[in-house]
Amino acid sequence: MSEREPVVMFSDYACPWCYLGRARLLRAIEPDRPSLIRPFPLSPDTPPEGRDIVEHLRAKGIDVTQALARLIPLMQEEGLEYPTDLAGRRQYSTRRAQELALWAQDHGTHAQLEALHDRLFRAYQVENLDVYSLDVLERLATEVGLDGGAGRVAIERGDYASAREQAWRVAMQAGITGVPTYVVGQQGVMGAQPVEVLRRLLAG
């Protein structure tokens, strides 16, 4: 394996474990090691207007109190902000957010793309912003130094819808069934693994 072989992280901004997993990957990875975030459809049926996240999780059989009790200490260990109560929060579609990231990959610098990923994670996981909203996406892109207006136009026109759908198909064809999943060459691990596990993956 080449020392420069990229780390691919399949992810969705709606996934709190991906938010945690990205922080762990950034601690594990060498400063000059290339990394890529690839979109995955965690909840592709999320309506444009969003839905109550607690009701949705309970409908899936998830004990929200237990999930938070497990997740919050892990977030704190990584220095990440995360809500202690999900009441009143909404799950939003991340289709457009993923398309914005694909647009940024073509029209921004690597640093801007990385900043956008982090901004979108924070917008969804901490601020509970509607990342399906074109107004919100334009603002977030602008905040990280991208041409938010141009990004908005591209997303509104659907310029990156087919690219996002293709990325979803690639993930499925690669056998990705959950996120985060990290892949280096022919090796991979699923879940927000500890930093030590990720370092072993990176070392090959």
Q: Token pair of 31, please?
A: 């400063």
Asked whether the beta carbons of 115 and 151 are under 8 A apart, the reply is: no
Bridge-based pairing of strands 7-11 and 35-39 is: parallel
Tell me what pLDDT residue 3 has.
56
Share of the chain above pLDDT 90, in %: 96
Work out the mean pLDDT of the chain and round it to a whole number: 96
Look at residues 123, 126, 121, 125 and name the one whose alpha carbon lies nearest to residue 135.
123
Which pLDDT band holds residue 204 (cuts at 50, 70, 90)?
confident
What is the helix (H) or strand (E) element at residue 62, kind and residue range? none
- 201: Cβ contacts below 8 Å, ≥ 6 apart: 7, 182, 184, 187, 188, 189, 193
CB 40, CB 168: distance < 8 Å: yes
Residues in the chain: 204
What's the number of CA atoms in the CB half-sphere (13 Å) around residue 153? 5
Helices (H), 29-94: 53-59, 64-77
Tens-place pLDDT, residues 19-73: 999 999 999 999 889 999 999 999 999 999 999 999 999 999 999 999 999 999 9
Fold of 7-203: Glutaredoxin (3.40.30)
Confirm if 41 and 86 have CB atoms less than 8 A apart. no
Q: How far is CA 27 from CA 35, 58, 79, 198, in A?
A: 13, 33, 12, 9
Q: What local confidence, expressed as pLDDT, does residue 1 receive?
A: 41
Q: What share of the chain is helix, strand, coil (3-state, %, to 5)?
A: 50, 10, 40
Give domain limits for the chain: 7-203
Question: How far apart (Å, rounded) are the C-alpha atoms in residues 177 and 134?
Answer: 29
